[in-house]
Chain A
Amino acid sequence: MAATWIHPASRPTEIDTLVEGVDRYNPANVQYLEDYMYQQTRERGYDCLANLAILKLYQFNPDLYNSDVVIHILLKAITASPGPDFNLCLALLGDRGPYLPTEDPDPLPALLPHLTQLHTLLLTCRFPKFWALYRSPELAPLRENFTIECVGFEDSVREVVARAVRGTFSKIGRDRLGAYLDLKKLDLAEYAHEQGWQMDGHSVVIPPNADNVVKSSVQNEEIKLPQLAKILAHAQLP
């Protein structure tokens, strides 16, 4: 995990103390963590470990459970693909039985299959299918109540796409890229420009990077000094 994943630069000190210490178990602190999560949705931030700390508190204290928070955490985790974040969140959920009375009906059980599907489509790079499902009438409740609050949700999905494209292609058809990013014509040109990709007729050229340039190589054996220790020691004998 990159260092920013373990500790995002935008994490405030108070949150850091909570996440790092035993105070993370104190139910009284869930408020601070939830506020910080909403801040992430407003400011396009992401802090997986802090969000997992919320789910941990819910795991131990089912009465704290707040479905709105959980759904936002899952949306954030979807856009961390291909990281393991979404499954890490699910691993902490689901201990809560249906026996606990809730004041409002809990929207999560109905939405969870959709969220899981969206995650699977992104993880398996089925980008056109992702957009089709995401824009389908079935998912209107998710869009209208949740993703709308999550500022830049679609942009962060595009980032997932851009990462996959950058690693795999050195040159990609314009229509194909458009379908992956769910962008057309001018928007697509602008997006490509922002990424530093060049338009070339019907194709888009992705500048070389560590992942999209291939070289055959022969890995030669490296002999380390300790391997020779015995031989060298022997040479010292009178």
Chain B
Amino acid sequence: MQMQLNQQQQLASVPDAVKRFIVHFHQSIRDGNLPEISLAYESGWNRLTEKFYSKTEWPEAETISPLVGDDPIFLILYRELYYRHVYSRLSPNIDDRFHSYENSCELFNYLLNSDGPAPLDLPDQWLWDIIDEFIYQFQSFCSWKNKVGSKSEDEMAMLAEATQIWSCYSVLNVLYSLIQKSQILEYLKATQAGESTEAVAELVGEYGTRSLYRMLGYFSIIGLLRVHTLLGDYTLALKVMDNVELSQKAPLARVTACHVATYYYVGFCYLMLRRYPDAIRMFVTILNFINRMRQYHTRSYQYDQVNKTGDRMYALLAICSALSPSRLDDNIMNTVKEKYGDQYTKMTQGSEGLQAFEELFTFACPKFIAANPPPYENEVQLAAWLEEPPADPAQKHLALFLSDVHAQDAVPTLRSFLKLYTSLDAGKLANFLDVDEEELVQQMMVMKQSSRSVTRPATSAGSLLQGEVVSTSDLDFAIEENTVHIAESTVGRRYGGWFIRNIEHAQRVFDSMRSQPLPITKTAAVTPPVNGQVEKSDAPAAQSRQTSGRTGRAVWGGANARRVEIEA
């Protein structure tokens, strides 16, 4: 009774604008009115957050419950937004973390374990955000849980009790269940094979035919890509993407945040697999896309997030480009140098650049997590854990990456010397570098290795792991006994683009001139208005033929011109 009274009081203190919004939001979801839901979700919610809740929580779901007739589904969705707001604007406490997990479970339970597909429709953007936020909260919880020192006794006790909350298995379980329920893999295979809509519908069943499930399944694949990357399993991360097409026409491009995240994680995995050319291709493609869409999307609430990921990708691109130099898009490369010019220069100079690699990698890498949290449930083990904690995941992956960099740190210097010669005695080169000849020869073998990379042809379909070994360097060499033979492949002068641009320009000039009235017929053209509108269109052609006959000069207009010449 007391509680009810409390809630009534709290509801009374909710601003009217917010009440109206919630009632309207609820109605739109019940009606399945996607445009209205999108509007409320993307702008209404954020507007009211700015106005009333920029520093406090939204009202509790229990408080606003009477406004929506205690609709359980709406309340779950409302809480999803409520906690997301807590995570992004405020700092979540342990209760928030536990409850947001429980709420996510309730939502997924409702979607996966009801009798038949849930009668619910949500915009793609929201569906992506649900999966994205679920993984973000998981990652945030893991990092938080790993910091044993900062926990109060109550928190320790709660963590010891709740080992299942936000566990890796539970998160993976949700993602795989959504993939399985939606039959999304079958859907993707069938559509790629060009099956008819009816055949696909039959294949994927009652869940898979519904957009809500299909998109959740699809986004769960991207979610797996992300979770596996966070856990350091780069091959598995790329493997789950086997059936997902990476292109601007693919479903992932429907939600910009998803599009950008996918390329970021795929590119990062390639980087850790030392497939630098593939990573570069991913980053360049998506950064070009971000640049193009920048002009349209400045007001979107995700704009900041996309830009931040973009900055991290420029950093990763600088890393890849330093490790595997190649000719890149000028625009993109200029931005790289603008943002990370200092580091880029250092990184292209061999061993001295190690610190720059470390700096950029730390800034741009994903927030790695440990699969196993500290053993809160066992005091003895926890004490042992504190005594000698395992390496921090981010440090571990950084060290592995730096070992890759370190292995090829003689290459840039060697390269700069080889560029000056077509053939050269190995001993002489060793002298230049102040090392003995044997050391030099071994460095040369490393250089050879680092100029070859597994690369997936841009056009090929199928697994992202596939690829062939190709040469990635414009400088090649071979050693014959003690002589180094060097050959450089240069790029011939490019004139095609210049001609194409100028021809197109000439054509535009030509078109605009042709659309002008002919200067000679200007005097004659004054008369037609008397004859009215209909004849007007025929007049110029007839007149021009007359004129050309008289003066012998060609008229403006392709086909006519030729005919005139023949007549003349």
Contacts and interface: CB of A to CB of B under 8 A. Distances in A.
B335 to A, nearest CB: 24
B488 to A, nearest CB: 6
Nearest to B483: A171
Given A94-B391, A95-B390, A218-B489, A25 B172 contact: yes
B372 A168 contact: no
Interface in A204-228: 211-221, 223, 227-228
A154 to B, nearest CB: 19
Interface string A84-95: 100110111011
A228 B500 contact: yes
B17 to A, nearest CB: 47
B169 A25 contact: yes
A66 interface: no
A46 interface: no
A167 B487 contact: no
B277 interface: no
A127 B400 CA distance: 21
Nearest to A231: B503
A125 B449 contact: yes
B346 to A, nearest CB: 21
Contacts of A168: 444-445, 448, 478-479
A227 B466 CA distance: 29
Given A170-B479, A214-B476, A96 B448 contact: no
Interface in B272-307: 272-274
Interface stretch (B35-43, B229-237, B257-265): B229-237
B522 interface: no
B407 A120 contact: yes
Contact of A125 (B442, B465, B482, B491): B442
Given A2-B469, A60-B371, A91 B479 contact: no
A53 B477 CA distance: 39
A124 B480 CA distance: 21
B467 interface: yes
Interface stretch (A97-105, A137-145, A186-194): A97-105
Contacts of B371: 59-60, 95
Contact of A91 (B233, B452, B559): B233
A199 to B, nearest CB: 14
Interface in B432-491: 438, 441-446, 448-449, 452, 454, 463, 465-469, 471, 476-482, 485-491
Contact of B233 (A56, A99, A128, A214): A56
B96 interface: no
Contacts of A217: 487, 489-490
Interface string A118-132: 001001111110000
A124 B478 CA distance: 18
B30 interface: no
Contacts of A123: 407, 446
B57 interface: no
B176 interface: yes
Nearest to A236: B558
Nearest to A209: B478
Interface in B197-246: 231-236, 239
Contacts of B448: 164, 167-168, 211
B390 A238 contact: no
Interface string A149-182: 0000000000000001101111111001000000
Nearest to B274: A84
A237 interface: yes
A31 interface: no
Given A96-B372, A168-B448, A216-B489, A231 B478 contact: no
A80 interface: no
Contacts of B396: 91, 94
A221 B495 contact: yes
Given A94-B391, A124-B446, A22 B176 contact: yes
A238 B489 contact: no
Nearest to B478: A212
A3 to B, nearest CB: 7
A169 B479 contact: yes
Given A97-B389, A173-B481, A218 B492 contact: yes
Interface stretch (B48-56, B310-318, B355-363, B380-388): B380-388
Contacts of A128: 438
Contacts of A223: 496, 500
B197 to A, nearest CB: 28
A1 B479 contact: no
B540 interface: no
B236 A219 contact: no
A230 interface: yes
Given A22-B176, A99-B385, A216 B487 contact: yes
Interface in B548-568: 557-559
Given A94-B390, A97-B389, A56 B442 contact: no
A234 interface: yes
Contacts of B234: 88, 91
A177 B533 CA distance: 91
Contact of B504 (A1, A22, A171, A231): A231
A216 B488 contact: yes
A196 interface: no
A215 B489 CA distance: 8
B392 to A, nearest CB: 10
Contact of B481 (A49, A60, A172, A219): A172
A97 B372 contact: yes
A96 B491 CA distance: 51
Contacts of A221: 492-497
Contacts of A99: 375, 381-382, 384-385, 388
Given A6-B465, A99-B375, A218-B489, A52 B390 contact: no
A99 B493 CA distance: 64
Given A97-B385, A214-B485, A231-B504, A60 B169 contact: yes
A49 B228 CA distance: 14
Contacts of A124: 407, 442, 446
A172 B385 contact: no
Contacts of A231: 500, 503-504, 507
A215 B487 contact: yes
Contacts of A172: 479, 481
A203 interface: yes
A129 to B, nearest CB: 9
A97 B384 contact: yes
Contact of B390 (A97, A165, A213): A97
12 contacts: A1-B454, A90-B400, A97-B375, A168-B448, A170-B478, A214-B486, A219-B491, A219-B492, A221-B494, A221-B495, A221-B496, A223-B500
Interface of B: 168-169, 172, 176, 180, 231-236, 239, 272-274, 370-372, 374-375, 381-382, 384-385, 388-391, 393, 396-397, 400, 403-404, 407, 422, 438, 441-446, 448-449, 452, 454, 463, 465-469, 471, 476-482, 485-497, 500, 503-504, 507, 557-559
Given A87-B272, A97-B372, A99-B388, 20 more contacts: A6-B466, A25-B172, A84-B273, A84-B274, A84-B404, A91-B233, A91-B234, A98-B384, A98-B390, A123-B407, A124-B446, A125-B442, A125-B449, A164-B445, A171-B479, A212-B478, A220-B492, A227-B500, A230-B507, A231-B503
